[in-house]
A and B are shown apart, each in its own frame.
Chain A
Amino acid sequence: MDEDREQRGSRIASGVGGAEGQGAVRVRLRNPSREVSLPAPTTVGGVLEALGLPRASHLVIVNGELVPGEHPLGPGDEVEVRPVVSGGAR
Protein backbone atom coordinates (compact mmCIF):
# COMPACT_ATOMS: atom_id res chain seq x y z
CA MET A 1 0.00 0.00 0.00
CA ASP A 2 3.01 2.21 0.51
CA GLU A 3 3.88 1.71 -3.14
CA ASP A 4 0.37 2.67 -4.10
CA ARG A 5 0.84 5.93 -2.20
CA GLU A 6 4.23 6.64 -3.73
CA GLN A 7 2.92 6.16 -7.24
CA ARG A 8 -0.03 8.43 -6.69
CA GLY A 9 2.33 10.92 -5.09
CA SER A 10 4.74 11.14 -8.00
CA ARG A 11 1.96 11.28 -10.58
CA ILE A 12 0.59 14.33 -8.85
CA ALA A 13 4.06 15.77 -8.43
CA SER A 14 4.70 15.74 -12.16
CA GLY A 15 1.75 18.07 -12.61
CA VAL A 16 2.17 20.30 -9.60
CA GLY A 17 5.90 20.90 -9.25
CA GLY A 18 6.76 24.57 -9.43
CA ALA A 19 10.52 24.11 -9.62
CA GLU A 20 11.32 21.15 -11.81
CA GLY A 21 14.76 19.86 -12.57
CA GLN A 22 17.96 20.54 -10.68
CA GLY A 23 18.05 22.72 -7.62
CA ALA A 24 14.63 21.62 -6.39
CA VAL A 25 13.66 20.12 -3.05
CA ARG A 26 11.00 17.47 -3.37
CA VAL A 27 8.52 17.56 -0.52
CA ARG A 28 6.06 14.83 0.28
CA LEU A 29 2.78 15.91 1.88
CA ARG A 30 0.25 13.75 3.69
CA ASN A 31 -3.56 13.55 4.08
CA PRO A 32 -3.95 13.41 1.12
CA SER A 33 -0.61 12.07 -0.05
CA ARG A 34 1.03 14.20 -2.75
CA GLU A 35 4.39 15.67 -3.71
CA VAL A 36 5.52 19.18 -4.63
CA SER A 37 8.88 20.66 -5.66
CA LEU A 38 10.27 23.84 -4.17
CA PRO A 39 13.33 25.83 -5.27
CA ALA A 40 16.55 24.85 -3.46
CA PRO A 41 18.28 25.83 -1.29
CA THR A 42 15.68 26.41 1.38
CA THR A 43 15.12 25.60 5.05
CA VAL A 44 12.58 23.66 7.06
CA GLY A 45 10.91 26.95 8.01
CA GLY A 46 11.06 28.07 4.39
CA VAL A 47 9.18 24.98 3.20
CA LEU A 48 6.26 25.61 5.56
CA GLU A 49 6.20 29.28 4.62
CA ALA A 50 6.20 28.51 0.90
CA LEU A 51 3.33 26.07 1.38
CA GLY A 52 1.39 28.44 3.66
CA LEU A 53 1.13 25.82 6.40
CA PRO A 54 1.25 26.69 10.11
CA ARG A 55 4.35 25.44 11.84
CA ALA A 56 2.27 24.70 14.94
CA SER A 57 0.31 21.99 13.16
CA HIS A 58 2.95 20.35 10.90
CA LEU A 59 6.07 18.29 11.48
CA VAL A 60 8.84 18.52 8.93
CA ILE A 61 10.73 15.24 8.82
CA VAL A 62 14.05 15.29 6.96
CA ASN A 63 15.61 11.95 6.07
CA GLY A 64 13.48 10.31 8.75
CA GLU A 65 14.46 12.73 11.52
CA LEU A 66 13.29 15.96 13.10
CA VAL A 67 15.53 18.99 12.62
CA PRO A 68 15.37 22.68 13.71
CA GLY A 69 13.60 25.32 11.59
CA GLU A 70 16.84 26.82 10.23
CA HIS A 71 18.08 23.47 8.96
CA PRO A 72 19.16 23.90 5.30
CA LEU A 73 17.56 21.70 2.67
CA GLY A 74 19.03 20.69 -0.67
CA PRO A 75 18.00 18.56 -3.66
CA GLY A 76 19.17 15.30 -2.09
CA ASP A 77 17.03 15.58 1.03
CA GLU A 78 13.99 13.44 1.58
CA VAL A 79 11.45 15.82 3.09
CA GLU A 80 8.05 14.94 4.50
CA VAL A 81 5.55 17.50 5.77
CA ARG A 82 3.16 15.75 8.11
CA PRO A 83 0.07 17.32 9.65
CA VAL A 84 -0.34 16.59 13.34
CA VAL A 85 -3.99 17.59 13.63
CA SER A 86 -6.39 14.79 14.47
CA GLY A 87 -9.79 13.97 15.72
CA GLY A 88 -13.28 15.27 15.92
CA ALA A 89 -15.34 16.10 18.98
CA ARG A 90 -14.19 13.77 21.70
Chain B
Amino acid sequence: MTEHTPGRQDAAALPGAAPANTWRAVAPPRSRRGPRRCVRCRQPAAVELPGQRTAFCPPCYLHHVRQKVARTMAEGHMLRRGERAVVAVSGGKDSLCLWDVLATAAEADATGDAPPLLEAPPAGVYLDLGIGEYSARSRETVERFAEARGLPLHVVAVAEELGAGIPEAARSGARSACGVCGLSKRHLLNRFALAEGYDVVLTGHNLDDEAAVLLGNVLQWDLEQLRRQRPVLEGRPGLVRRAKPLVRTTEWETAAYCVVAGIDYVVEECPMAEGNRHLVYKDLLARLEDRAPGIRSAFHRGFLRRLQPLLEDQLGEQSLAGLQPCARCGAPTTGEVCAFCRVAERLAARREAGDGAEPLSAGADPHPPAGPPPSRTD
Protein backbone atom coordinates (compact mmCIF):
# COMPACT_ATOMS: atom_id res chain seq x y z
CA MET B 1 0.00 0.00 0.00
CA THR B 2 1.27 3.42 -0.72
CA GLU B 3 1.46 5.80 2.15
CA HIS B 4 -1.00 8.63 2.12
CA THR B 5 0.80 11.41 3.82
CA PRO B 6 -1.82 13.74 5.24
CA GLY B 7 -0.16 16.91 4.05
CA ARG B 8 3.14 18.48 3.39
CA GLN B 9 5.28 19.41 6.34
CA ASP B 10 6.78 22.42 4.64
CA ALA B 11 3.61 24.50 4.56
CA ALA B 12 5.73 27.66 4.41
CA ALA B 13 7.86 26.38 1.54
CA LEU B 14 6.54 28.59 -1.18
CA PRO B 15 8.98 29.82 -3.79
CA GLY B 16 10.73 32.88 -2.51
CA ALA B 17 9.73 32.21 1.12
CA ALA B 18 13.07 30.61 1.98
CA PRO B 19 15.57 32.83 3.76
CA ALA B 20 18.97 33.65 2.32
CA ASN B 21 21.31 30.76 1.75
CA THR B 22 23.15 30.69 5.05
CA TRP B 23 22.96 26.98 5.76
CA ARG B 24 26.70 26.48 5.36
CA ALA B 25 27.26 28.48 8.53
CA VAL B 26 28.44 26.35 11.46
CA ALA B 27 25.71 25.94 14.05
CA PRO B 28 26.63 27.25 17.51
CA PRO B 29 26.57 24.65 20.28
CA ARG B 30 23.01 23.76 21.16
CA SER B 31 21.89 24.51 24.68
CA ARG B 32 20.91 21.46 26.69
CA ARG B 33 17.34 22.60 27.14
CA GLY B 34 16.29 24.27 23.91
CA PRO B 35 15.13 22.37 20.86
CA ARG B 36 17.59 21.77 18.06
CA ARG B 37 17.43 24.57 15.51
CA CYS B 38 17.64 24.78 11.74
CA VAL B 39 21.20 25.77 10.73
CA ARG B 40 19.81 27.92 7.95
CA CYS B 41 17.02 29.95 9.55
CA ARG B 42 17.10 29.12 13.32
CA GLN B 43 13.53 27.84 13.42
CA PRO B 44 13.07 24.54 15.33
CA ALA B 45 14.66 21.71 13.33
CA ALA B 46 12.65 18.74 12.10
CA VAL B 47 15.22 16.84 10.02
CA GLU B 48 18.58 15.88 11.51
CA LEU B 49 21.46 14.71 9.33
CA PRO B 50 24.13 13.27 11.65
CA GLY B 51 26.33 12.27 8.71
CA GLN B 52 26.58 15.92 7.72
CA ARG B 53 26.41 17.24 11.32
CA THR B 54 23.49 19.45 10.49
CA ALA B 55 19.72 19.90 10.93
CA PHE B 56 16.97 21.73 9.09
CA CYS B 57 13.42 22.94 9.45
CA PRO B 58 11.05 21.47 6.80
CA PRO B 59 11.30 24.21 4.11
CA CYS B 60 15.07 24.55 4.48
CA TYR B 61 15.45 20.78 4.26
CA LEU B 62 13.78 20.72 0.84
CA HIS B 63 16.04 23.58 -0.20
CA HIS B 64 19.08 21.64 1.06
CA VAL B 65 18.26 18.54 -1.02
CA ARG B 66 17.49 20.62 -4.11
CA GLN B 67 20.80 22.49 -3.80
CA LYS B 68 22.73 19.26 -3.33
CA VAL B 69 21.16 17.70 -6.42
CA ALA B 70 21.77 20.83 -8.50
CA ARG B 71 25.44 20.87 -7.41
CA THR B 72 25.86 17.16 -8.15
CA MET B 73 24.40 17.67 -11.62
CA ALA B 74 26.51 20.73 -12.38
CA GLU B 75 29.78 19.27 -11.10
CA GLY B 76 29.20 15.99 -12.90
CA HIS B 77 28.23 17.73 -16.18
CA MET B 78 25.13 15.55 -16.18
CA LEU B 79 23.04 17.88 -18.26
CA ARG B 80 24.11 20.62 -20.64
CA ARG B 81 22.14 23.71 -21.49
CA GLY B 82 19.36 23.01 -23.94
CA GLU B 83 19.51 19.24 -23.62
CA ARG B 84 16.40 17.10 -23.17
CA ALA B 85 16.35 14.86 -20.12
CA VAL B 86 13.96 12.08 -19.18
CA VAL B 87 13.62 10.77 -15.62
CA ALA B 88 13.25 7.03 -15.06
CA VAL B 89 10.48 6.78 -12.45
CA SER B 90 9.45 3.70 -10.48
CA GLY B 91 6.99 5.08 -7.91
CA GLY B 92 9.56 4.69 -5.13
CA LYS B 93 10.93 7.50 -2.97
CA ASP B 94 14.14 8.05 -4.93
CA SER B 95 12.78 8.60 -8.41
CA LEU B 96 9.81 10.66 -7.21
CA CYS B 97 12.11 12.81 -5.08
CA LEU B 98 14.33 13.32 -8.14
CA TRP B 99 11.43 14.13 -10.41
CA ASP B 100 10.05 16.62 -7.87
CA VAL B 101 13.46 18.27 -7.43
CA LEU B 102 13.89 18.65 -11.20
CA ALA B 103 10.37 19.91 -11.79
CA THR B 104 10.87 22.45 -8.98
CA ALA B 105 14.24 23.47 -10.45
CA ALA B 106 12.64 24.04 -13.84
CA GLU B 107 10.04 26.31 -12.24
CA ALA B 108 12.74 28.21 -10.36
CA ASP B 109 14.74 28.55 -13.59
CA ALA B 110 11.76 30.13 -15.24
CA THR B 111 11.63 32.78 -12.52
CA GLY B 112 15.41 33.24 -12.43
CA ASP B 113 15.56 32.05 -8.79
CA ALA B 114 18.12 29.32 -9.37
CA PRO B 115 21.02 28.54 -11.66
CA PRO B 116 19.67 27.29 -14.98
CA LEU B 117 19.34 23.54 -15.03
CA LEU B 118 16.34 22.68 -17.15
CA GLU B 119 14.31 24.67 -19.58
CA ALA B 120 11.11 22.78 -18.87
CA PRO B 121 9.97 20.24 -16.29
CA PRO B 122 11.35 16.90 -17.52
CA ALA B 123 9.20 14.03 -18.72
CA GLY B 124 9.17 10.75 -16.82
CA VAL B 125 9.30 7.22 -18.18
CA TYR B 126 7.84 4.36 -16.17
CA LEU B 127 8.83 0.76 -16.92
CA ASP B 128 6.05 -1.68 -16.10
CA LEU B 129 8.01 -4.69 -14.87
CA GLY B 130 4.98 -6.97 -14.75
CA ILE B 131 5.44 -7.81 -11.05
CA GLY B 132 1.74 -8.32 -10.29
CA GLU B 133 0.13 -6.14 -7.64
CA TYR B 134 3.40 -4.38 -6.86
CA SER B 135 3.76 -3.07 -10.42
CA ALA B 136 0.10 -2.08 -10.57
CA ARG B 137 0.43 -0.03 -7.40
CA SER B 138 3.67 1.54 -8.52
CA ARG B 139 2.15 2.58 -11.81
CA GLU B 140 -0.88 4.12 -10.13
CA THR B 141 1.38 6.08 -7.79
CA VAL B 142 3.50 7.42 -10.66
CA GLU B 143 0.44 8.31 -12.71
CA ARG B 144 -1.11 10.19 -9.79
CA PHE B 145 2.13 12.10 -9.17
CA ALA B 146 2.47 13.08 -12.84
CA GLU B 147 -1.14 14.11 -13.13
CA ALA B 148 -1.13 16.23 -9.98
CA ARG B 149 1.91 18.18 -11.21
CA GLY B 150 1.03 18.23 -14.90
CA LEU B 151 4.21 16.36 -15.86
CA PRO B 152 4.41 14.29 -19.07
CA LEU B 153 4.68 10.54 -18.42
CA HIS B 154 5.54 7.68 -20.79
CA VAL B 155 4.90 4.03 -19.96
CA VAL B 156 6.88 1.11 -21.40
CA ALA B 157 5.68 -2.43 -20.64
CA VAL B 158 8.56 -4.88 -20.23
CA ALA B 159 6.27 -7.80 -21.11
CA GLU B 160 5.58 -6.32 -24.53
CA GLU B 161 9.25 -5.84 -25.34
CA LEU B 162 10.75 -8.92 -23.72
CA GLY B 163 7.92 -11.40 -24.20
CA ALA B 164 7.20 -11.74 -20.47
CA GLY B 165 7.21 -9.79 -17.22
CA ILE B 166 10.19 -10.04 -14.86
CA PRO B 167 8.93 -12.95 -12.70
CA GLU B 168 8.28 -15.23 -15.69
CA ALA B 169 11.52 -14.19 -17.38
CA ALA B 170 13.44 -15.02 -14.21
CA ARG B 171 11.79 -18.45 -13.91
CA SER B 172 12.78 -19.38 -17.43
CA GLY B 173 16.48 -18.63 -17.32
CA ALA B 174 19.76 -18.72 -15.50
CA ARG B 175 19.51 -15.14 -14.22
CA SER B 176 17.97 -13.91 -10.97
CA ALA B 177 14.89 -11.67 -11.11
CA CYS B 178 17.01 -8.64 -10.25
CA GLY B 179 19.54 -9.65 -12.90
CA VAL B 180 16.93 -9.80 -15.68
CA CYS B 181 15.26 -6.69 -14.29
CA GLY B 182 18.49 -4.68 -14.25
CA LEU B 183 19.46 -5.54 -17.80
CA SER B 184 15.91 -4.96 -19.06
CA LYS B 185 15.81 -1.51 -17.43
CA ARG B 186 19.14 -0.50 -18.96
CA HIS B 187 18.19 -1.82 -22.38
CA LEU B 188 14.65 -0.47 -22.56
CA LEU B 189 15.41 2.95 -21.08
CA ASN B 190 18.18 3.35 -23.63
CA ARG B 191 15.97 2.21 -26.49
CA PHE B 192 13.18 4.54 -25.39
CA ALA B 193 15.51 7.54 -25.04
CA LEU B 194 17.11 6.92 -28.45
CA ALA B 195 13.75 6.59 -30.16
CA GLU B 196 12.35 9.74 -28.51
CA GLY B 197 15.48 11.83 -29.03
CA TYR B 198 16.43 12.39 -25.36
CA ASP B 199 20.01 13.40 -24.61
CA VAL B 200 20.20 11.90 -21.14
CA VAL B 201 18.36 9.44 -18.90
CA LEU B 202 18.36 10.45 -15.23
CA THR B 203 17.92 7.65 -12.69
CA GLY B 204 17.17 7.68 -8.96
CA HIS B 205 20.20 5.67 -7.79
CA ASN B 206 21.10 7.05 -4.38
CA LEU B 207 24.24 7.07 -2.24
CA ASP B 208 23.22 3.86 -0.43
CA ASP B 209 22.65 2.02 -3.71
CA GLU B 210 26.05 3.10 -4.93
CA ALA B 211 27.82 2.34 -1.64
CA ALA B 212 26.25 -1.16 -1.50
CA VAL B 213 27.24 -1.92 -5.10
CA LEU B 214 30.71 -0.58 -4.37
CA LEU B 215 31.07 -2.81 -1.32
CA GLY B 216 29.95 -5.82 -3.39
CA ASN B 217 32.39 -5.01 -6.17
CA VAL B 218 35.24 -4.49 -3.72
CA LEU B 219 34.53 -7.76 -1.92
CA GLN B 220 34.77 -9.51 -5.29
CA TRP B 221 37.52 -7.20 -6.62
CA ASP B 222 35.50 -6.91 -9.80
CA LEU B 223 37.69 -4.30 -11.49
CA GLU B 224 35.61 -3.94 -14.65
CA GLN B 225 32.43 -3.30 -12.65
CA LEU B 226 34.33 -0.86 -10.44
CA ARG B 227 35.58 0.99 -13.49
CA ARG B 228 32.02 1.41 -14.74
CA GLN B 229 30.64 2.61 -11.42
CA ARG B 230 30.41 6.31 -12.17
CA PRO B 231 27.73 8.95 -11.58
CA VAL B 232 27.67 9.66 -15.31
CA LEU B 233 28.03 7.15 -18.12
CA GLU B 234 28.76 9.16 -21.22
CA GLY B 235 26.78 8.41 -24.35
CA ARG B 236 28.26 7.09 -27.56
CA PRO B 237 26.72 5.88 -30.81
CA GLY B 238 23.74 3.72 -29.85
CA LEU B 239 23.97 4.58 -26.15
CA VAL B 240 22.30 7.57 -24.51
CA ARG B 241 24.11 9.21 -21.58
CA ARG B 242 22.94 7.99 -18.18
CA ALA B 243 23.37 10.00 -15.00
CA LYS B 244 22.60 9.62 -11.30
CA PRO B 245 21.84 13.02 -9.75
CA LEU B 246 21.12 11.46 -6.31
CA VAL B 247 24.53 9.85 -6.01
CA ARG B 248 25.35 12.04 -2.98
CA THR B 249 21.91 11.81 -1.41
CA THR B 250 21.20 8.97 1.03
CA GLU B 251 17.98 7.02 0.84
CA TRP B 252 17.10 8.32 4.28
CA GLU B 253 17.30 11.80 2.76
CA THR B 254 15.13 10.95 -0.26
CA ALA B 255 12.51 9.29 1.96
CA ALA B 256 12.58 12.28 4.32
CA TYR B 257 12.22 14.61 1.32
CA CYS B 258 9.08 12.75 0.24
CA VAL B 259 7.55 12.87 3.74
CA VAL B 260 8.29 16.57 4.15
CA ALA B 261 7.09 17.46 0.64
CA GLY B 262 3.93 15.34 1.00
CA ILE B 263 4.87 13.00 -1.87
CA ASP B 264 2.93 9.74 -1.82
CA TYR B 265 5.38 6.96 -2.74
CA VAL B 266 5.32 3.16 -2.68
CA VAL B 267 6.74 2.24 0.73
CA GLU B 268 6.31 -1.46 0.19
CA GLU B 269 9.35 -3.36 -1.02
CA CYS B 270 9.49 -5.11 -4.41
CA PRO B 271 8.63 -8.77 -3.65
CA MET B 272 11.51 -9.98 -5.83
CA ALA B 273 14.13 -8.16 -3.73
CA GLU B 274 14.01 -10.61 -0.85
CA GLY B 275 17.29 -12.31 -0.17
CA ASN B 276 19.15 -9.98 -2.48
CA ARG B 277 22.69 -9.58 -1.23
CA HIS B 278 22.67 -5.85 -1.82
CA LEU B 279 20.11 -5.56 0.94
CA VAL B 280 22.57 -7.30 3.26
CA TYR B 281 25.30 -4.85 2.28
CA LYS B 282 22.95 -1.94 2.81
CA ASP B 283 22.04 -3.13 6.28
CA LEU B 284 25.71 -3.57 7.19
CA LEU B 285 26.53 -0.09 5.90
CA ALA B 286 23.58 1.45 7.78
CA ARG B 287 24.79 -0.11 11.05
CA LEU B 288 28.28 1.15 10.34
CA GLU B 289 26.85 4.60 9.58
CA ASP B 290 25.14 4.71 12.98
CA ARG B 291 28.52 4.11 14.65
CA ALA B 292 30.47 6.41 12.32
CA PRO B 293 28.19 9.05 10.77
CA GLY B 294 29.33 9.99 7.27
CA ILE B 295 31.24 6.76 6.61
CA ARG B 296 29.10 5.67 3.63
CA SER B 297 29.60 8.97 1.91
CA ALA B 298 33.37 8.95 2.62
CA PHE B 299 33.63 5.38 1.29
CA HIS B 300 31.91 6.24 -1.96
CA ARG B 301 33.44 9.69 -2.46
CA GLY B 302 36.94 8.37 -1.81
CA PHE B 303 36.43 5.67 -4.41
CA LEU B 304 35.27 8.16 -7.03
CA ARG B 305 38.16 10.51 -6.34
CA ARG B 306 41.02 8.12 -5.77
CA LEU B 307 40.45 4.72 -7.32
CA GLN B 308 37.98 5.08 -10.16
CA PRO B 309 40.22 7.39 -12.26
CA LEU B 310 43.10 4.91 -11.98
CA LEU B 311 40.87 2.09 -13.16
CA GLU B 312 39.64 4.21 -16.03
CA ASP B 313 43.25 4.87 -17.10
CA GLN B 314 44.17 1.23 -16.92
CA LEU B 315 41.06 -0.48 -18.25
CA GLY B 316 39.05 2.14 -20.14
CA GLU B 317 40.44 1.69 -23.65
CA GLN B 318 40.35 -2.05 -23.85
CA SER B 319 36.71 -2.17 -22.71
CA LEU B 320 35.61 0.28 -25.39
CA ALA B 321 37.35 -1.66 -28.12
CA GLY B 322 35.21 -4.78 -27.65
CA LEU B 323 31.80 -3.22 -28.46
CA GLN B 324 29.81 -4.06 -31.60
CA PRO B 325 26.13 -3.76 -32.58
CA CYS B 326 23.81 -6.58 -31.48
CA ALA B 327 22.88 -8.78 -34.44
CA ARG B 328 19.18 -8.60 -33.46
CA CYS B 329 18.52 -5.07 -32.18
CA GLY B 330 21.65 -3.09 -32.97
CA ALA B 331 22.39 -2.06 -29.37
CA PRO B 332 26.12 -1.96 -28.55
CA THR B 333 27.24 -5.22 -26.95
CA THR B 334 30.39 -7.25 -26.37
CA GLY B 335 28.91 -10.46 -27.80
CA GLU B 336 27.12 -11.13 -31.05
CA VAL B 337 23.64 -10.87 -29.53
CA CYS B 338 23.00 -8.59 -26.54
CA ALA B 339 21.89 -9.95 -23.16
CA PHE B 340 18.36 -8.57 -23.52
CA CYS B 341 17.81 -10.25 -26.92
CA ARG B 342 19.22 -13.51 -25.56
CA VAL B 343 16.66 -13.52 -22.73
CA ALA B 344 13.88 -12.64 -25.20
CA GLU B 345 14.95 -15.49 -27.51
CA ARG B 346 15.04 -17.99 -24.69
CA LEU B 347 11.54 -16.97 -23.64
CA ALA B 348 10.26 -17.29 -27.20
CA ALA B 349 11.86 -20.73 -27.59
CA ARG B 350 10.34 -21.96 -24.34
CA ARG B 351 6.93 -20.79 -25.40
CA GLU B 352 7.27 -22.51 -28.75
CA ALA B 353 8.24 -25.74 -27.02
CA GLY B 354 5.08 -25.41 -24.95
CA ASP B 355 7.26 -25.21 -21.88
CA GLY B 356 6.32 -21.84 -20.50
CA ALA B 357 2.67 -22.73 -20.17
CA GLU B 358 1.67 -19.41 -18.66
CA PRO B 359 0.06 -16.90 -20.96
CA LEU B 360 2.33 -14.18 -22.25
CA SER B 361 0.91 -11.50 -20.04
CA ALA B 362 0.95 -13.43 -16.76
CA GLY B 363 1.44 -10.94 -13.98
CA ALA B 364 1.80 -8.15 -16.48
CA ASP B 365 -1.73 -6.79 -16.45
CA PRO B 366 -1.31 -3.27 -15.11
CA HIS B 367 -4.92 -3.17 -14.00
CA PRO B 368 -5.77 -6.47 -12.30
CA PRO B 369 -9.23 -6.88 -10.81
CA ALA B 370 -9.63 -5.02 -7.55
CA GLY B 371 -9.26 -7.00 -4.36
CA PRO B 372 -7.05 -7.43 -1.33
CA PRO B 373 -3.32 -7.65 -2.05
CA PRO B 374 -1.80 -11.12 -2.09
CA SER B 375 -0.57 -11.95 1.39
CA ARG B 376 3.11 -11.48 1.75
CA THR B 377 5.41 -14.20 2.97
CA ASP B 378 7.60 -11.97 5.09
Contact = CB atoms under 8 A, between A and B. Distances in A.
Interface in B76-97: 92-94
Of B55, B270, B287, most A-chain CB atoms within 10 Å: B287
B1 A2 contact: yes
B279 to A, nearest CB: 6
B185 interface: yes
Interface stretch (A15-23, A35-43, A61-69): A61-69
Contacts of B256: 59, 66
A48 to B, nearest CB: 9
Contacts of B58: 65-66
Interface string B277-316: 0110011011101100000100000000000000000000
Contacts of A87: 92, 209, 270, 273, 278
B290 A89 contact: no
A52 B290 CA distance: 11
Contact of B179 (A1, A31, A84, A89): A89
A64 B258 CA distance: 12
A89 B93 contact: no
Interface in A39-73: 54-59, 61, 64-70
B286 A1 contact: no
Given A31-B269, A89-B276, A66 B47 contact: yes
Interface of A: 1-2, 4-5, 30-32, 54-59, 61, 64-70, 82-90
Given A2-B4, A61-B259, A66-B46, 12 more contacts: A1-B373, A31-B267, A54-B283, A54-B289, A56-B250, A59-B252, A64-B7, A84-B251, A84-B255, A85-B282, A86-B273, A87-B273
28 contacts: A4-B372, A30-B268, A31-B267, A31-B268, A54-B286, A54-B289, A56-B250, A56-B290, A57-B252, A57-B282, A57-B286, A59-B252, A64-B5, A65-B9, A66-B58, A68-B36, A83-B269, A84-B254, A84-B255, A85-B279, A86-B92, A87-B209, A87-B278, A88-B182, A88-B276, A88-B278, A90-B178, A90-B203
